[in-house]
Amino acid sequence: MPELPEVETVCRLIRPKLVGRTLGVSRVHWQRSLGGLSVRRFSKHVRDARVRRVRRRGKYIVAELEREGSFAGAILVHLRMSGRLHVDPAACDRGPHLRVSVDLDDGKRLNFLDVRKFGRFTFCDDPLEVLRALGPEPLGSEFTPLWLRDQLRSRKRILKPLLLDQSFLAGLGNIYVDEALHAARLHPLQRSNEVSARKSNALREAIRGTLLEAIEREGSSFDTFYRTPEGQPGSYQHQFQVYGRNGRPCRTCGRKISRIVVGQRGTHLCSRCQRSYPPRS
DNA sequence: AGCTACTCCTGGTAGC
DNA sequence: TGCTACCAGGAGTAGC
């Protein structure tokens, strides 16, 4: 599933193909991809606007638009489970999963594909309205050791759902939470207020290290899903320590990786490496 | 405040 | 082979 590293990879690859382009006609094949916006309004907002900048915030891709040099809203993309973004020649047939496409002034087309239809490709007058609900960037300057310690201490939430909560920290999903918790040797069911300062620092390092390494490897690909916009798979899936390794030996200690369900999410852990929960008595 | 359940969707696969 | 049933899962929302 596209999480921060995958979204960052997509962003880096499509940025040079979009910045400076003027948008043309759009085609909407699945209206709900627009997230409630009408086809007419979407098309009108996008047409003849120029792409000023392409950036990532959490798992969102934000393509900021301008008209006559002034900010004119943004295309906001969330890939959710199976979304993909490609810039293709206009003649390229992307098949039945193409949901939205927008013509570019260089004869190409920005295509949004999404097998499971959970993703969003929409226009937003003020993207900050959506983005300000997000927590800090795990690779940004706000995510300090002190911030994490304070935030963990001031809540009494189970670690896994807390780390998945985008309003707490932006960009982590099921895969990288499991990987980071294993790297920090923390149990997914541990309560946030019961995490020591030392463990909090370890968690911060684990989150940042995991994400940075995954970005370096252009994310993770499996299940025929995520691909870079160049069509290449990422390679971080070969580094997984726990995710999807149910029943196979932990690469640290050899114990079989177990799978439990936490907050309706499949959760993978090593019960020897991550034994802080339940508390030993 | 924090939790659970439900919804949206499809392709893949287990079981028969 | 061909059918049905079920599963994964990010995020929003309702309800307790």
Q: Of A84, A99, A131, which residue sits at a domain end?
A: A131
Range(s) of the domain holding residue A163 = 145-270
Distance A224 CA to B11 C1' (A): 10
CB proximity A156–strand B (7 Å threshold): yes
| Vertex A32 angle, CA A28 and A37, to 5° | 80
Q: Of A103, A131, A159, which residue sits at a domain end?
A: A131
pLDDT, tens digit, 9 for 90 and up, residues A117-165: 999 999 999 999 899 999 999 999 999 999 999 999 999 999 999 999 9
Taking C1' of C9 and every protein CA, the nearest residue is A81
CB proximity A277–strand B (7 Å threshold): no
CATH number of the domain to which A175 belongs: 1.10.8.50
Residue type, A44: K
Co-location of A158 and A263 in the same domain: yes
CB proximity A255–strand B (7 Å threshold): no
**Domain assignment present for A278:** no
Co-location of A150 and A32 in the same domain: no
CA A270 – CA A185 distance, rounded (Å): 9
Please, what is the angle between helix A197-216 and helix A145-153, to 10°? 120
Co-location of A123 and A157 in the same domain: no
**Amino acid A252: pLDDT:** 94
**Amino acid A254: pLDDT:** 94
**Domain assignment present for A281:** no
CB proximity A164–strand B (7 Å threshold): no
**Amino acid A232: pLDDT:** 73
Q: Of A131, A155, A186, which residue sits at a domain end?
A: A131
Q: What is the dihedral of CA A60, A188, A217, A215, to 10 degrees?
A: 40
User: Does the reported pTM lie above 0.75?
Assistant: yes
Distance A121 CA to B2 C1' (A): 31
**Domain assignment present for A276:** no
Residue of A232, A218, A230 lying closest to A86 (CA atoms): A230
Distance A233 CA to C7 C1' (A): 24
**Domain assignment present for A23:** yes
pLDDT, tens digit, 9 for 90 and up, residues A92-124: 888 889 999 999 999 999 999 999 999 999 999
Please identify every residue of A annotated as catalytic: 2-3, 59, 265
Q: Which residues of chain A have pLDDT under 70?
A: 222-231, 277-281
Distance A81 CA to C12 C1' (A): 15
